[in-house]
Structure 1
Amino acid sequence: MTETQKTEADHILETRAALLEAAIPHVVFDGWSDATFDAAVAESGVDAGLAAQACPRKGLDLAVAYHRQGDRAMVAAMEAADLQSMRYSDRVAYGLRARLETADRELVHRGSTLFALPHHAAEGAGLIWETSSAIWDALGDTSRDVNWYSKRAMLSAVYSSAVLFWLGDTSEDSAETWAFIDRRISDVMKIETTKAKLRDNPLSKAFMAGPGRLLDLIKAPDTSAQSNMPGYVAPKS
């Protein structure tokens, strides 16, 4: 990428950030909609043509940008925390809690409504996967085989259920949500323990030496280049 291209990319990111900042007060009333996008363009002073280039799908692109902004805040919180002093399960739970603590409940509710629509569901699932992958990456996950996928799949399920629980949580300081996350993470750790025991089982060893060797062909995607594979983390937006 040339310096000119970098400058153009940075300009798009700055434009999108300006639009997102102007859009947020309108999301409560109009959701992540075209109306919100139009209001953001008018109030931010961003050129309409540049706004269309930064967010060609208007409100949908703003919703995606808001989600990824939350992911970046979560990663920053994890990097600033003393994770090494925590048990591994607590580190995972800390990442999920940090993700929700950096979010606005009403904005997330509006986003959940948008991504629940059939034609946006796949993109919403992809964003959840990105969040889960970002947590594992922040924790230093080095798996490159089928475990790369299974870890992110399980954490995606935990995160999506935690979001739904959190949206309806009326407890003080979201205490019930944090307890819910701890329970779900405990369940995941039990699964990992069971998997470890199964690996030592003679039948499992026989399977892995035979048909199970096909699992060795499953590799994590190359995220150094753009990919449509699960786990590809898009550029900052």
Structure 2
Amino acid sequence: MINSYELNRDEARDRIMAAIGSHVVFDGWNLKSLKAAAREAGLETSAVVRVFPKGVGEAITHYFDWGDRYMLTAMGKRDLGAMKTRERVGAAMQVRLDMFGSREVMRRTLATLALPMNTQIGLQATYHTVDAIWHASGDTATDLSFYTKRALLACVYTATLLYWLEDTSENSEDTRGFLERCLANMLQLAAVRLSLAQLRQSNPARFLWRPPLQMTSRSGRSVTRTQYPQTLCV
């Protein structure tokens, strides 16, 4: 048995996460499954309380972080320069899905995150994962697109994850196709946003909102009609 005190906290945590899968399938996310994983990893069960002092929620957070770090390492070994943006993002997404391994583990995890006290953990985990995917894809944006890219990818990531959970095709081929379609749509939306931004920069007056017009209805009452930007009314 390994003395957990000889390891730093993250090393001990990673060992437990590497062994947690089969125990989550049968027992869910709880102290029992964490102790069983620690035992399987060769650590004393008391290590669980020391490395996860905040309990199961902290363990789930580290589970997603562990997967994100694995994905970043795997993508760092690829020749990203020879890949298009969609290919890089798609590859990172696929590595991340493969890291989940068992669908039942993810079903159990999502069921736990659906509990009201764990909602924040799920939202934070999703943000950190899509942020890691963009970083793994070589994205260096620091402007407004930093946020729009992550918001769009969060939708793709969530939809693909749910699709994957129900996918029965060989080697999850249907999920790969679904992901490709989602990414294509996402990049089309991003292209439209960029075009509008460039148009607004070149001719900002067309995007200014005019004050409401006072009009008289057939009944004689005064009504207000908002003049919308010419560009959006074409």
TM-score (norm: length of structure 2): 0.77
Question: For 2:205 and 2:190, how far apart are their aligned partners in 1?
Answer: 19
Aligned-pair CA distance for 1:203: 8.4
Pick one of 98, 104, 107 that aligns with 1:106: 104
Call closer, same or farther: CA 1:40–1:90 in 2, change over 3 Å: closer
Contact kept, 8 Å, 2:20 with 2:34, in 1: the verdict is: yes
Q: Provide closer, same or farther for how the CA distance between residues 152 and 9 of structure 1 changes in structure 2, counting only shifts above 3 A.
A: farther
Asked if the contact 1:198–1:204 (Cα under 8 Å) also holds between the matched residues in 2, the reply is no
The aligned residue for residue 187 of structure 1 is: 185
2:132 paired with 1:134: yes
Residue segments in structure 1 that go unaligned for 5+ positions in a row: 1-7, 212-237
**C-alpha distance 166-209 of structure 1, shift in aligned 2 (>3 A):** same
Distance 2:136 2:122 in 1: 21
The answer on 1:97 being equivalent to 2:94 is yes
Q: Is the 8 A contact 1:19 1:46 kept in 2?
A: no
User: Counterpart in 1 of 2:172?
Assistant: 174
Is the alpha carbon distance of 1:15 and 1:155 closer, same or farther for their aligned partners in structure 2, counting shifts above 3 Å?
same
CA contact (8 A) 1:67 1:127 kept: yes
Pair 1:210–1:12, CA change in 2 (3 A): farther
For 1:152 and 1:20, the matched residues in 2 are separated by 26
Does residue 154 of the first structure (1) align with residue 139 of the second (2)? no
Alignment RMSD (CA, Å): 2.7
1:79 lines up with 2:62 in the alignment: no
Q: Distance between the aligned counterparts of 1:199 and 1:22, measured in 2?
A: 48
Question: 1:17 Cα deviation (Å)?
Answer: 2.4
Tell me which amino acid in the other structure corresponds to 2:74: A
Indicate how the Cα distance of structure 1 residues 54 and 89 shifts in structure 2: closer, same or farther if over 3 A, else same: same
1:56 aligns with 2:39: no
2:113 aligns with: 115
Amino acid corresponding to residue 113 of structure 2 in structure 1: F
Contact 2:35-2:45 at 8 Å conserved across structures: no
What's the offset of the Cα at 1:209? 9.3
Quote how far apart the aligned CAs of 1:99 are: 0.7
Structure 1 residue 9 displacement after superposition? 11
SS in 2 for 1:120: helix
* Percent identity (aligned): 32
Task: Tell me the SS of whatever aligns to 1:102.
Answer: helix
- The residue type paired with residue 168 of structure 1 is E
Q: Is the radius of gyration larger for structure 1 or structure 2?
A: 2
Distance 1:122 1:204 in 2: 41
1:126-164 deviation per Cα after TM superposition (whole angstroms, max 9, x unaligned):
111111111111222222122111111111111111111
* Structure 1 residues 45 and 195, CA gap change in structure 2 (3 angstroms): closer
Q: How many residues align?
A: 203
Aligned: 1:38 with 2:35: yes
SS of residue matched to 2:8? helix
CA separation of 1:82 and 1:22: change in aligned 2, threshold 3 A: closer
